[in-house]
Amino acid sequence: MASDGKLHVVVFPWLAFGHLIPFLELSKVIAQKGYKVSFISTPRNINRLPKLPPNLIPLINFVKLKLPRIQNLPEDAEATMDVLPQDIHFLKEALDGLEPELTRFLESSNPDWIIYDFAPYWIPKITAKLNISGAYFFVMNAWFLDFFGPTSIMMDPPKKEMGYLDYTVPPEWIPFPTNLAYRSYEVKRTQETSNKPGAGITDMYRLGSVVSGCDVIMVRHCFEFEPLWLDLLEKLHGKPVVPLGLMPPDDQEIESNDKNETWVSIKTWLDEQKELSVVYIALGSEVGLSQDELTELALGLELSGLNFFWALRKSDSIELPHGFLERIKGRGVVSESWAPQSKILSHDSVGSFLTHCGWSSIVEGLGFGRPLIMLPIAVDQGLNSRILVDTEVGIEIPRDENDGSFTRNSVAESVKKVMVYKECHIFRDKAKELSSIFGDKDLHNRYMNKFIEYLEKHKPVCKLDME
């Protein structure tokens, strides 16, 4: 507890920017209420985070813990974007090495709460010993956590490896009709990466440990969209579930950096395009495409004949097809530098969003009413796509069921279905309808207010007695 009697909350995200950023946004909400936050991560990750608003600087303390050096982990690798997907398990092993230092910090700072991620399976034993309330912040949606079932399934040694269960069909513990399931090629890809145990601990065991050991599950979801999954989450785990809303980008983020040179250049090009005529493409920063996938995507965009803006993650190992940039000049832009996604999606010229289906990107895209062309790559993205296809906000690019490959023709046809074919109005109307939920800032602020109330009401009992 802070010396002034106000809440002190520690946050400890996983070493991926798809987790670090939502944890930072949550920290800002807590700090805006006047409470102290200790944001714990590694030096390089903290240095790469967006700058805080000046009024929150006194309330959010960035605590830099040096990541232990692990064999086979590059010297400067502190986040998933710094390593190949097959090497992420080394990061988990390094993270486990932070347990002693984190324990010392918690002992000396005596916080009321620690909000943590899936990887540090050892945190619940620390919170129990130190009488600190623990919350698991699941940065994705409720259906993804539901999909893996109760912790008895996650932590049962014979069942903890993906492959024991058939993930290509909806799990038996989902009591209502759903198409929620992985494609066979998605299971294979996940087996190649997630099943490599960091420090001998699988992802499923880590997840099961933090879920079973936390006091409350906090999830980026709301009752206004797919509410059955929230109800199921509470039934599966027998503990409180606090929805945080969808955490859309705030208006300040969208309106900031208007004079940034890169944004001015992008906006100038977008201003020259017709309303709803541009396909915006962004596939996240964590997992890249193979050379074949990049080639087919590029040639599919070219074949579609439509205007597009592609925020492409720069890579030294793959390259665009020969002559592609010259052939699409005038109607297509490929940007390998920073691209302000919220600003681009909010522009009137953007008519659809070709996305990897990361949950943050979906929230942004539907918040602005943009129909989706879905190309899921990893982790939760395939399951997100199954749900969203059922809501008719867009379509998933067809792929080979065995190896996940797709063709330029399937890309071109998918883009045209969402942008120009007769059925485009179905996707556009449904996306616009959902924008009233995904983009409703007041709605999601109310969820955050309830979250703060929960933190206040459920401080550790002995600390309450001392006040």
pLDDT of residue 195: 55
Q: Which residue has the higher pLDDT, 316 or 213?
A: 213
Report whether 130 contacts 10 (CB < 8 A).
Answer: no
Report whether 361 contacts 282 (CB < 8 A).
Answer: yes
The band of 255, judged by pLDDT with boundaries at 50, 70 and 90, is low
Pick the CATH number of 251-438 from 3.20.20.30, 1.10.3720.10, 3.40.630.30, 3.40.50.2000: 3.40.50.2000
Question: Between 17-32 and 441-457, two packed helices, what is the crossing angle to 10 degrees?
Answer: 80
pLDDT beyond 70 at 375: yes
DSSP designation for 15: S
Spatial CB neighbours of 435, under 8 Å, sequence gap ≥ 6: 366, 367, 368, 369
Residue of 432, 343, 449 whose CA lies nearest to 393: 432
Residue recorded with tokens 């996604």: 341
Q: Which residue has the higher pLDDT, 167 or 279?
A: 279
pLDDT beyond 50 at 466: no
Question: Rounded mean pLDDT of 421-447?
Answer: 96
Q: Which residue has the higher pLDDT, 438 or 195?
A: 438
Helix (H) or strand (E) holding 40: strand 36-41
Q: Give the chain's end-to-end CA distance (angstroms, integer).
A: 10
Q: What is the three-class DSSP state of 27?
A: helix
Residue of 92, 115, 110 whose CA lies nearest to 39: 115
Question: Rounded mean pLDDT of 335-347?
Answer: 91
pLDDT of residue 160: 46
From residue 229, alpha-carbon distances to 86, 145, 146, 388 in Å are 31, 9, 7, 14
The band of 256, judged by pLDDT with boundaries at 50, 70 and 90, is low
Report whether 244 contacts 448 (CB < 8 A).
Answer: yes
Report whether 370 contacts 431 (CB < 8 A).
Answer: yes
CB atoms within 10 A of CB 51: 6
* Mean pLDDT value across the chain: 91
Question: Rounded mean pLDDT of 250-277?
Answer: 84
Question: Rounded mean pLDDT of 191-206?
Answer: 73
* Burial of 14: CB neighbours in 10 Å, binned 0-12, 13-18, 19+: buried
Q: Which amino acid is present at 28?
A: K
CATH code of 8-248+441-466, in short, is 3.40.50.2000
In this structure, are strands 241-243 and 133-138 parallel, antiparallel, or unpaired? Answer: unpaired
pLDDT of residue 426: 96
Q: Identify any residues that bridge with 350 across adjacent strands, giving them in sequence order.
A: 278
Spatial CB neighbours of 106, under 8 Å, sequence gap ≥ 6: 10, 114, 126, 130, 132
- For residue range 120-155, what is the model confidence (pLDDT) as tens digits? 999 999 999 999 999 999 999 999 999 999 998 888
Q: Identify any residues that bridge with 242 across adjacent strands, giving them in sequence order.
A: 218
DSSP designation for 347: S
Question: Where exactly does CATH 3.40.50.2000 map onto the chain?
Answer: 8-248+441-466, 251-438
The band of 465, judged by pLDDT with boundaries at 50, 70 and 90, is very low
Query: Please, what sign has the CA dihedral across residues 172, 176, 182, 184?
Result: positive
Report whether 121 contacts 206 (CB < 8 A).
Answer: yes
Q: Report how far residue 180's alpha carbon sits from residue 168's, in angstroms, rounded to the nearest whole number.
A: 9
